[in-house]
Amino acid sequence: MRTRVAPSPTGAPHIGTAYIALFNYAFAKHHGGQFILRIEDTDQTRSTAASEQAILDALRWIGIPWDEGPDRGGAHAPYRQSARTDIYLEHVRKLTESGAAYPCFCTAARLAELRRSQAGTDNSGYDGCCATLDPAQAARRAAAGEPHVVRLRIPTDGECVMQDRLRGAIRIPWHKVDHQVLLKSDGYPTYHLANVVDDHLMGISHVIRGEEWLSSLPKHLLLYQAFQWQAPEFVHLPLLRNPDKSKLSKRRNPTSILYYQRAGFLPEALINYLGLLAYSFPDGREEFTLAQLAENFDIDRVSLGGPIFDLQKLRNFNGRYLRGLPPAELWHRLQDWLLRDEVWQQIVPLAQPRLSQMTDLVPQAAFLFADRLDYAPDQLIKTAPGGDAAALARLLKTAQWEMEKLPEWDNAAVRDLFNRLATVENLKLKQLMPPFYVAVTGAPVGLPAFDAMVQLGRDMTLRRLQYALETLETGGVALKGRQLKEFTAAYQAAYGSPA
RNA sequence: GCGCCCAUCGUCUAUCGGUCAGGACACCAGGUUUUCAUCCUGGGAAGAGGAGUUCGACUCUCCUUGGGCGUGCCA
């Protein structure tokens, strides 16, 4: 048995990645198999090396080990898709030669127009315009360098019958399946192609992934068939949800593993809690280790209802683990977290100019060791530039989006960000910063703002801005629904798309 | 709009045709504790609705409703 987790290195390491990894690991290890980590960086515009590193670090921190991966190699290396383009090209060639796939020369403009014309109708997806091109002629155009993609040819009628381990047989009419792009015009494969090729080549026996992939399964099955490969078994796990039941997103919840690390959660508590969502032991046991989960794991006991990620219960479990530690061990954990020399060596120089007694140090630095800060809505609102609380909410949102886009998180980057923000918003830095200062430190005065954010780290800073937005909501200032939608458009016009 | 998936306390879940529908988080009450927290005890709290199958349905089937995902040269 071989399973894998295949995260895309775009943005912060997602808690959902850990959740999927956990079940893949538990299943593989229960059966004495291997668990593989593969990086799916086929989106050249969004993938970053920093994000890949963060994913590896986060998975390592949470304690789910992989047998093969980009950092340690393995019999099926490389484990980074951007290093496997030759393999995909070769496979795409086979598909076009057999007619299972075809070149498509449609422009982005035509596709956009097509989508517009389909709005509100029963139809969606590519209209098959290039599917009927003469293969020889199309091949000549492609060879001549005409920009094109390669699409998967879908049967025109009948239905696809697929098997999901947890749901049984699922039927989807073929005419509802899109002629998926397999090879982009930049020469990189899409997820669908790379994923199938790699899963086969890497000997993956069970594909355990999020439910969001269920509707693409027909395409994947068709690819296995076109290559004449034995398809693996598929297991679609329920998606983690926000309290409002929508797919877990950073809009309403912290989704970065780095946030949980910084906020003082223990990896074993996080794993335990994640395992509790969608899985239950036959004996009703709720506290368990990764090894115990793997030992007892029975994939057929996975439940299908989309579980709401409940921070309250996570906190409760984290508390149990924390309180159960021998004091000496707890002290080690606290040191691993933030109570170590190198952290204080950064903080002390920042606090020094503001000291009159040594007792001033810890209170001034306390915000660095907290999660949610306690301040009243008014404390924040009174710092709003021009006294406009609604505008302040938009400012906080803008800052969040801009922070997410930052390639580096250091003093210069943060300073540049706020200077840019001040310029675009036509504010003096002095007017702009006070509310951010309250949001980040919970007080109107203290350590320098940019240093405070750098010390706090990006994920916790982002979280603090979120808390500020929530505080504004309790103060009657909400940025959501239609207003948020309109503001998002305005933001994009002024700053470009969010990350 | 269309396709697919899902449906037990507020939340996470147990139950695989016969249970007073169990546990955990949260909440409420009481107790232990110099405070607080911990801890202990107790309490309220659920099978979305409607048909069917069956001696008997939370459990099987169908419909309705609700929720989710998908509908990208993103994964």
Sequence-distant (≥ 6) Cβ neighbours of residue A257 within 8 angstroms: A12, A13, A14, A15, A17, A18, A58, A61, A62
Whole-angstrom distance between the N-terminal and C-terminal Cα of chain A? 37
Distance CA A396, CA A402 (A): 10
Distance CA A62, CA A274 (A): 11
DSSP string, A146-167: ---EEEE---SSSEEEEEETTT
Q: Which nucleotide is nearest to A276 (CA to C1')?
A: B12
Tell me whether residue A397 is one of the annotated catalytic residues.
Answer: no
Nearest CA among A425, A395, A405, A403 for reference residue A487: A395
Whether residue A317 has pLDDT greater than 80: yes
Tokens matching residue A366: 């306390």
Span CA (A388) to C1' (B73), Å: 43
Mean pLDDT of A305-318: 96
Q: Which of residues 28-57 of A touch strand B (CB under 7 A)?
A: 40, 42-43, 46
Span CA (A320) to C1' (B24), Å: 13
Whether residue A241 has pLDDT greater than 80: yes
Distance CA A69, CA A335 (A): 29
| Overall residue count recorded for chain A in this entry | 499
Q: Which of residues 4-23 of A touch strand B (CB under 7 A)?
A: 6-8, 10
Query: Mind listing the pLDDT tens digit for each residue in A194-217?
Result: 999 999 999 999 999 999 999 999
Exposure string over A214-245, b if 16+ CB within 10 A, otherwise e = beebbbbbbbeebbeeebbebbbbbbbbbeee
Query: Mind listing the pLDDT tens digit for each residue in A81-100?
Result: 999 999 999 999 999 999 99
Span CA (A286) to C1' (B17), Å: 28
Mean pLDDT of A279-297: 97
SS (H, E, C) A412-437: HHHHHHHHHHHHHHCCCHHHHHHHHH
Q: What percent of chain A has pLDDT over 70?
A: 100
pLDDT at A479: 85
Asked whether residue A481, judged by its CB, lies under 7 Å from any atom of the DNA or RNA strand B, the reply is no
Q: What percent of chain A has pLDDT over 90?
A: 84
Mean pLDDT of A43-72: 96
DSSP string, A297-360: --GGG---S--B--HHHHHHHHHHHHHHS-HHHHHHHHHHHT-SHHHHHHHHHHHGGG-SSGGG
Asked whether residue A479, judged by its CB, lies under 7 Å from any atom of the DNA or RNA strand B, the reply is no
> Which of A250, A313, A382, A405 is flagged as catalytic?
A250
Whether residue A489 has pLDDT greater than 90: no
Asked whether residue A176, judged by its CB, lies under 7 Å from any atom of the DNA or RNA strand B, the reply is yes
What ipTM score was computed for the predicted complex, to two decimals?
0.96
Cβ atoms within 10 Å, residue A185: 13
Helix A429-441 with A458-474: angle, nearest 10 deg:
90
